[in-house]
Amino acid sequence: ASKSITSVLYLKDERVIASAGAADSVVKFWDTRKLKAPIAQTPPQCQEGRIHGISSLAQDSNGTFIIASCMDNKIYLYNALQPDKGPLKSFAGHELDSFYIKACFSPDGTHILSGSSDGNAFLWQVDKPEASPVKLSGHLREVTAVDWYYSVKLSGHLREVTAVD
């Protein structure tokens, strides 16, 4: 049985498209000038021998990094120029029980924001993947879509981040 493509991302270099699906944790990279086969792909990420799908892809504003939000409850950070080398970092603490849940970078690329199946949104510092994420509570059901207000730069005060129903 075939599985769905769950995320497509047009990279900032304007030549490459990244795609990911529900069947495995592989992100494939396609050169738009010759689409016969992927030009690169990430190695599969397995937890306890089980392969999980990916719910979303995002790229930072500089085009340096890509995140893949995986159904193993982790977000993987890849170098956009060398995705085949595997993830540089991973972020955990949220729950992904649905392919509707998305993640994104802050405008300055220093934070990652993700929805979660447990009714919260979670915020990580990119340079501190081992630290516990900040939990933004207040929703009754899963938080699916998250985004940033781009005209305000995130300062050291996490109080500036708000969740809106």
Is 48 in a helix, a strand, or coil?
coil
What count of residues does the chain have?
165
Of the pLDDT bands very low, low, confident and very high (cuts 50, 70, 90), residue 156 is low
Residue the block writes with tokens 């899963």: 142
pLDDT of 159 reads: 44
Report the predicted TM-score, pTM, of the whole model to 2 decimal places. Answer: 0.86
Q: What are the pLDDT digits (tens) for 27-70?
A: 999 999 998 899 898 888 765 556 688 999 999 999 999 999 99
In angstroms, how far is CA 132 from the centroid of its own chain?
A: 17
Task: Indicate the residue type of 56.
Answer: S
Closest CA to 6 of 99, 104, 133, 134: 99
Domain 5-151: CATH architecture, name and number where available: 7 Propeller (2.130)
Q: What is the pLDDT of residue 21?
A: 87
> Domain limits of the chain?
5-151
* Measured distance CA(47)–CA(33) in Å, rounded: 35
